[in-house]
Amino acid sequence: MRGGNVVGTERIVVGVDEHEASDRAVDWVAVRRVVPGSRVELVTVANGWGGDGPALDRRLARAAERLSAAHPRVDIATFRLAGAPDRMLADAASTADLLVIGNRRQHRVRTALDGWMPERVPTLANGPTVIVPEDWRPTHGDVVLGVDDANGDTALRFAGAQAVREHRRLSLVRAWNVADLARVTTVSILDDPELVEARAREILNDAERLLHTRFPGLQHRPVVEEGDPADVLRRYAENASIVVLGRHHTSMLGGRFFGSAAHELITRSPTPVCIAPLRSPDPSRA
């Protein structure tokens, strides 16, 4: 995806394993608008825990057939790698526009043993990572962007382009909470909660101005709401098609306020979550 508000060709990497969650990741790409000339790479990783090699090959073949039928003018390729799944997937997608993985959120222990760790892969990836839960079903809801003071441009670019691509409204959601802000600011501002709310609106206005520049004319809804960011975003996620959050650095999901929100959404919500780094490593990419 290049060129700001232009929906163009992409290189998408999809993680495939022996579990149904990876089928949902494939389904998510299948129903998404993918521009002809794009490339989708289906990648499975043998990690030493065993597993049925022929069964994985059959699953890869079925996934390729599914995507070829859904996107006949898109190049579909399959790869089988060996190593630590999280690192190998991140490496495979290091120059991709998008990485898509499944999430066995209802089988958390087994997921960790398998090494897929949906909360770890996005911290290793260079670009946006979409995490699709095993119980996901397609919806026509808004694209929701959690607006943080450390979002960066990549999250907004992905959210805006996704809204354009799927003909969705973009909801810009900024939650504010005095107790959370107390950990990262001076005490003086806490004397007046109205100042905290005003700061939240200022951050949201900045995001709106950038959105107007990147995606002029895109239908959007700005939301400023008091409450715990995890609770607020989880509520808006209920009717969303996807929730997009920024990643501040490699050891934290979701920026300064949304780390817990990312965890809550990934572990509890049936809505796909996209985690985007603060900046794309290549300025020409988004």
Domain boundaries, the chain: 11-133, 143-277
Q: Which residues contact 155 (CB under 8 A, 6 or more apart)?
A: 128, 145, 244, 245, 246, 247, 274, 276
pLDDT class for 90, splitting at 50, 70, 90? Answer: very high
Domains 11-133 and 143-277 share a fold: yes
* Per-residue pLDDT at 54: 82
Share the mean pLDDT of the chain. Answer: 84
CB of 256 within 8 A of CB of 148? yes
What is the rounded distance in angstroms from the CA atom of residue 58 to the CA atom of residue 52? Answer: 10
Looking at domain 143-277, its CATH architecture is 3-Layer(aba) Sandwich (3.40)
Q: Which residue has the higher pLDDT, 56 or 151?
A: 56
Q: Which residue has the higher pLDDT, 144 or 260?
A: 144
**pLDDT above 70: residue 133:** yes
> Exposed (0-12), middle (13-18) or buried (19+): which is 51, by Cβ within 10 Å?
middle
* Per-residue pLDDT at 140: 93
Q: What is the pTM of this model?
A: 0.87
* Per-residue pLDDT at 151: 56
Q: Which residue has the higher pLDDT, 224 or 176?
A: 224
Mean pLDDT of 38-66: 84
CB of 241 within 8 A of CB of 139? yes
Lowest average pLDDT, out of 119-128, 173-182, 255-264, goes to: 255-264
Under CATH, to which class is 11-133 assigned? alpha beta
Q: What is the C-alpha R_g of the chain?
A: 19
**pLDDT above 80: residue 63:** yes
**pLDDT above 60: residue 4:** no
The C-alpha torsion from 223 through 224 and 227 to 231, rounded to 10°, is 20
